Amino acid sequence: MGVDKPGLVKLKCAVKNYDWGKVGEKSSVSRLYANNSRAEVDADSPYAEFWMGTHDSGPSYAAVPNGDSEERRDNGFKRENSNSVSLKDWIDRNPAVLGDRVLEKWGPNLPFLFKVLSVAKALSIQAHPDKELAVILHKQQPGVYKDDNHKPEMALALTEFEALCGFIGLEELKSVIQSVPEIVEIVGSSRADQVLQITENDGEKKLKEVFKSLFTDLISVSNSVISEIIPKLIRRLNSKREKLTEKEELVLRLERQYPGDIGVIAAFLFNYVKLNPGEALYLGANEPHAYIHGECIECMATSDNVVRAGLTPKHRDVQTLCSMLTYKQGFPEILNGVPSNPYTVKYIPPFDEFEVDRCNLPEEASTIFPAVNGPSVFVVTSGEGTMGVASSKELVREGDVLFAPANSEITVETISGLNLYRAGVNSRFLEDSDTSKTY
């Protein structure tokens, strides 16, 4: 079974009701999911993630034409009755929709997973394994690590967005050791002295060894010690309420969300990042992070592997996390994107699997997404308009998700304004003639 040149394919997508999600209609995820699936929003339930892709934990379903059915028209636009099949199965039957470069490297699989996140309270302190470790973890604990793929990812802020990302630099670390006595009480004075005495001249390897030892000692501490130390920390911070730093304010917030959790203290060791709408943050394998608050578009390699160590009631794998981290220090790079045209900005992280476009069309405007030799997934986050391949047009509005096959030029038009995001395979990969190159 196959198709030569299919047009846009509408997708019905999955939702995740994790307890850190925004509740009811306060969540953009709930609104997108309700419009996408024609489902009612439960006013008391959290709506955390809207998934668009082929991962088995939250597959999308494609509305594919039923050749035996009669055509119908809505508002002058051609529609066909359709059957629903998983996007993964439809791609497997029609692999040409991925393009030859993508098919050659990843087989008949969509290499990226696209999401919208609505974050009300902090996600776990976590990292994602590289490909080699993912294979091992999936084999050892398939119930915990759901697949054998790596998971580099990027978060593009829809609202003001807060995150912990990567370890702080050496000078800030020394300041933390000197100003947070509770950390010294946990790790011991000799470990703290190691940090205070080391310099940049000691070399990157030595710096990482010291940071690894400090973090491992801290995150591995027993519950009995933590139950004594955290109340002491909170009392001290509350006593200096008018002079708190941003990081100390954050620590108090985290403690209210996850009382008695080692992640509350560990937060001092991570960079506190605040993104404005339109700014993006990318995370490679084995880099620690925790999203704190806000809404974002997220894209990643097709995986759901998470190694957690704090700020969570879920399974923690502290030993694996401590052994896998890169212990790279310093503030992460923030992407502002590169304009493709007056309405579209492209964000290209250093990963083969994906890139993201942000498109904001004003009233009575149109734009074109040029044909590329790879698949695309579009999500309309607000407004309405039309999208089409050649002369075939689809009415689209908030919550619509569409799959575009490789080598499809997409025209977008709107009367009242429209905002959408596109996920696709990294342009650098598609344009690079060396198919063996990876980032």
The catalytic site residues sit at: 308
Burial zone of 66 (CB within 10 Å; 0-12 exposed, 13-18 middle, 19+ buried): exposed
Q: How far is CA 143 from the centre of its chain?
A: 21
Instruction: Quote the CA–CA distance of 132 and 423 in Å, as a whole number.
Output: 25
Instruction: Quote the CA–CA distance of 202 and 195 in Å, as a whole number.
Output: 12
Instruction: Quote the CA–CA distance of 32 and 46 in Å, as a whole number.
Output: 14
3-state SS assignment for residue 412? strand
Q: Are 347 and 156 in contact (CB under 8 A)?
A: yes
Instruction: Quote the CA–CA distance of 262 and 273 in Å, as a whole number.
Output: 20
Q: Are 288 and 166 in contact (CB under 8 A)?
A: yes
Q: For residue 137, give the H/E element and its range.
A: helix 131-140
Q: Are 128 and 303 in contact (CB under 8 A)?
A: yes
Q: How far is CA 1 from the centre of its chain?
A: 34
Which residue from 53, 158, 113, 58 is spatially nearest to 299, judged by alpha carbons?
A: 113
Q: Are 312 and 259 in contact (CB under 8 A)?
A: no
Residue 257 in tokens: 């969300």
Specify the DSSP class assigned to residue 182: H
Residue 433 in tokens: 């003639």
Residue 52 in tokens: 């668009």
- Residues 6+ away with beta carbon under 8 Å from 431: none
Write the DSSP assignment of 367-400 as a string of letters.
Answer: EEE---SS-EEEEEEEEEEEEEETTEEEEEETT-
Specify the DSSP class assigned to residue 337: -
Specify the DSSP class assigned to residue 206: H
Q: For residue 63, give the H/E element and its range.
A: strand 61-65
Cβ atoms within 10 Å of 136's Cβ, excluding its own:
13
Instruction: Quote the CA–CA distance of 147 and 315 in Å, as a whole number.
Output: 16
Q: Are 265 and 183 in contact (CB under 8 A)?
A: yes
